[in-house]
Amino acid sequence: MSTFVEQWIEEAARLTQPAHIVWCDGSEEQEQRILWQMLEERHTLRLNERTYPNCYLHRSSPTDVARSEKATHICSRSESDAGPTNHWIAPAEAKEKLTALFRGAMEGRTMYVVPYIMGPPDSPLAQAGVELTDSSYVVANMRVMARMGRVATERVKSSGDFVRGLHSLGDLSPDRRFIMHFPEERLIWSVGSGYGGNALLAKKCHALRIASWMAREQGWLAEHMLILGLEDPSGRVTYMAAAFPSSCGKTNLAMMVSALEAQGYRVWTVGDDIAWMRIGADGRLRAINPEAGFFGVAPGTSLSTNPHVVAAIQRNTIFTNCGLTAAREPWWEGMSPEPPAGLFDWQGRPWSPGQVPAAHPNSRYTVPAAQVPAISPHWEDNEGVPISAFIFGGRRSRLTPLVYEALDWNHGVYIGATLASETTAAATGDLGVTRRDPMAMLPFCGYHMGDYFQHWLDLGSRVPRPPKVFHVNWFRKDADGQFLWPGFGENVRVLKWILERIEGKGSALETPIGLLPSPGALTLDGLNFTGEQMEILLHVDPNDWTEEHAGIGRFFETFGERLPQELLDEHGQLGERLAHAASAPRHSVGKGGKTPRKD
Ligand code: SAT
Ligand code: MN
C-alpha cells in the first residue's frame, strides 16, 4: 500500500508524464549529478573554479526575472477569505485551468521529488514540505535554501502533515504563468516560471503565504522579517525582527558590520527574509529562521555595503542573472567602481557601458547561511531566539523620520499596517511608486489582511512580554535628492538607540507620530553630521503627515468591515494628535519620563 506522499506523486506523474522520477536525498553525489544536468541544459555555466569554487551562473528566460504578483493567487474556498489585497480564483476553477497547463508538461523530462524541512529539523516550529519540480535549477536552489533530502524523507513518508508543491517550468510564457495557493489543502501549484519566489515553493509560497494562514489558525506568526542579534559591550545579545518590503536592505541590515564595533556593539545574523514566531514558555515571542540559505539581491552588494555576504559568496553559491567577466567571475553594478573590460551581460551578450546595466536589477545570489561569517551561534536553536523589538521600514524619500517608536502595541500594529515604500525591482511592475505594504506582507499574506491585523492585535494581548515596536527610514533625501543618512554599518547607531529604549534608558521626544530620539540621544561620534542635518532627518512635518493620514484613511476603506476597530481608533487618535500639533510644544519623555499613554 502506498503512502499519502507516494499517491500524490503518482497522481502528479500521471498528469505531467515525466520520463523519470528522482527522489532527492540531499547527498553530495546526487547534487553533482543535478548540477551536471543543469550545465547540460545550457542556461547555467560553471564559474572560475579557482576564484569561485563550486559556483554557478544561471541565466533565466528574459521574461522570467522576478516574482509575478499578477500571476499569484490565493484559492481559498471562500473569496472573502483571500481579502482585497490578493487575487482570488475558486479552487476548482484554478485546478481546471492549471490541469490543462500541467498535462504532459514534464514529457521527456525528469520530475524531481524534493522533500524539505523549513526550520531546524527538531524545532517545534519546523514544518515539512515536498516540492515536485522539473527544474534542476530549482532543486539546486532548494538544497541551499531549505533542509532538503533525507532529513525530511522519513517525516513526509510517515505523516500527511506536510505542504505539497507542484511546479513545472511549462513554456515559461508570462501568459501561462500561475502561482496558485490552496491554503485549506496546504497545497501549491506553480507553472510557467523558474524564478525565485515563483518557483522555490518553500520560500514565499510555503513559508509565508501558506504558513501565515496556518499561523492564524494556530496562534503564531509567519512574517516577512529578518532576525538579528545586537551584542552590547557587556556581551549580551538582544534580538530584533525587522520587516521591510523586498529589496529594501533586509539582508544588508541583518549582516551589518557595525560602525560601533570598537565600542562593543556588533550584529549577529539569524535570518534575512522570513521569521516564524510563537510565544515561548518564558512568555516571550521566540523566532526561528525557517530557511537555510540567503537568496539576496546582488546589485549594490560590495565590500563596503555587505562585506559578510561578499565573504560568503566566494564558494558554493549560485548566481542568477548577474554579469560575467572575462575571468569567468560574476559581476554586478556596485561590485566595483568600474566595470571590468570584456564583460558579458546577464543574458550572455558582450556588454559595453551605456544605458542598460550588465546585471539584471533583480539578479541574485543563493548562498548557504552557515557560510556568512556573522551567522549567529544561535541561528539554529530549536526554541528560537527571544524577540525584544519589531522594526518596520520602507523606502521613503520624504516624510518619514530616521527612527520613531510606537506608543504601545496597538499603535505599533497601526504603524506596521500603514507601512509604505517606494517599489523596487524585486517584483515586476512600476518602479519607484509609493505603495502601502502592511508589515511588508502585501504580496505574502495568504488571507484577508483585515483578519491579519486582528491576529496581530490579539497576539499583543496574549504575549506577556510583547516586543516594542519601531519604524525606521534609511532612505530620506534632502532637497537635492541626496540620501541624508549614510546607512549600512552606520544603521547600528539607530539599533543602539532602540536597544536603549528596550532597556528603558534612551531618551525620547513625543511627537504626533510617536517617540523620536531626543537631541543627543543617537550616538553620532565619528560621523560628520551637523545638527541641522539631524534636524531634517528627524523632522516631523504636521502638514505632510496630515496628507499621509488622509491617504491611510483611504487605504483603510479598502478593508471594509474586516478592518479592526482598534486600528480605526488608532487612526482617529493620530488625526487628533496631528491637529493639536501646532499648538502643543514637544516635550521630553526620556528616562523615567512619562509617555502620553500606557507604554
Ligand atoms: O520572491 S523572491 O524570493 O523571488 C524575491 C523577493 O521578493 O524577496
Ligand atoms: Mn523577501
Q: Distance between CA 254 and CA 288 in Å, rounded?
A: 14
Residue type present at position 507 = S
Helical (H) or strand (E) element with 318: strand 318-320
548: Cβ–Cβ under 8 A, 6 or more apart, which residues? 399
Counting atoms of ligand 1 from 1, which one is nearest the CA of 295? 3
Sign for the CA dihedral angle at 462, 463, 464, 470 comes to: negative
Give the whole-number percent of the chain exceeding pLDDT 90: 91
Q: For atom 1 of ligand 1, which residue has the closest CA?
A: 197
Total Cβ atoms within 10 A of residue 462: 11
Cβ–Cβ under 8 Å, residues 247 and 297: yes
337, 334, 346: which is closest to 302 by C-alpha?
334
Centre of ligand 2 to C-alpha 245, Å, is 7
Counting atoms of ligand 1 from 1, which one is nearest the CA of 66? 4
Centre of ligand 1 to C-alpha 196, Å, is 6
Provide the angle, in degrees to the nearest 10, between the axes of the packed helices 565-581 and 542-557: 160
Q: Which of 24, 75, 248, 445 is catalytic?
A: 248
For a substitution probing ligand 1, which of 58, 195, 274, 295 has the most ligand atoms within 8 Å of its CB?
295
Centre of ligand 1 to C-alpha 102, Å, is 24
273, 300, 269, 335: which is closest to 425 by C-alpha?
300
Centre of ligand 2 to C-alpha 233, Å, is 31
CA distances from 490 to 253, 265, 442, 480, 539 (A): 10, 11, 29, 22, 19
Ligand with the closest atom to the CA of 203:
1
- 511546479: which residue's cell? 167
Helix (H, G, I), strand (E, B) or coil at 231: strand
* 59, 114, 96, 174: CA torsion to nearest 10: -10
For a substitution probing ligand 1, which of 203, 272, 291, 423 has the most ligand atoms within 8 Å of its CB?
203
pTM: 0.96
Strand order in the sheet with 364-368: 44-46, 56-58, 318-320, 364-368, 293-297
Q: For atom 6 of ligand 1, which residue has the closest CA?
A: 246
Q: Distance between CA 11 and CA 7 in Å, rounded?
A: 6
Q: Which residues pair with 242 in a beta bridge?
A: 226, 391
Buried b (16+ CB within 10 A) or exposed e, 322-332: bbbbeebbbbb
Q: How far is CA 560 from the centre of its chain?
A: 27
Q: Classify burial at 306, counting beta carbons within 10 Å of its beta carbon; exposed 0-12, middle 13-18, buried 19 or more.
A: buried
Q: For atom 2 of ligand 1, which residue has the closest CA?
A: 197
CB under 6 Å to ligand 1: residues? 67, 196-197, 203-204, 246, 295, 426
pLDDT in tens, 406-461: 999 999 999 999 999 998 777 777 777 889 999 999 999 999 999 999 999 999 99
Q: Specify the pairing of strand 163-168 against strand 187-191.
A: parallel
Q: Classify burial at 582, counting beta carbons within 10 Å of its beta carbon; exposed 0-12, middle 13-18, buried 19 or more.
A: exposed
Cell of 91: 479552487
Cβ–Cβ under 8 Å, residues 288 and 241: no
pLDDT in tens, 322-381: 999 999 999 999 999 999 999 999 999 999 998 899 999 999 999 999 999 999 999 999
Counting atoms of ligand 1 from 1, which one is nearest the CA of 273? 8
Is 248 among the residues known to form the active site? yes
Cβ–Cβ under 8 Å, residues 64 and 172: yes
pLDDT 10s per residue in the chain (599 long)? 579 999 999 999 999 999 999 999 989 899 999 999 999 988 999 999 999 999 999 999 999 999 999 999 999 999 999 999 999 999 999 999 999 999 999 999 999 999 999 999 999 999 999 999 999 999 999 999 999 999 999 999 999 999 999 999 999 999 999 999 999 999 999 999 999 999 999 999 999 999 999 999 999 999 999 999 999 999 999 999 999 998 888 999 999 999 999 999 999 999 999 999 999 999 999 999 999 999 999 999 999 999 999 999 999 999 999 999 999 999 999 999 999 999 999 999 999 998 899 999 999 999 999 999 999 999 999 999 999 999 999 999 999 999 999 999 999 999 999 999 998 777 777 777 889 999 999 999 999 999 999 999 999 999 999 999 999 999 999 989 999 999 999 999 999 999 999 999 999 999 999 999 999 999 999 998 888 889 999 999 999 999 999 999 999 999 999 999 999 999 999 999 999 986 665 544 444 333 433 33
Counting atoms of ligand 1 from 1, which one is nearest the CA of 427? 7
Can you give the three-state secondary structure of 45-109, one letter per residue? EECCCCCCCCCEEECCCCCCCCECCCCEEECCCCHHHHCCCCEECCHHHHHHHHHHHHCCCCECC
For 235: left if phi > 0, alpha if psi spans -120 to 50, otherwise beta; the answer is left
Provide the angle, in degrees to the nearest 10, between the axes of the packed helices 91-102 and 4-16: 60
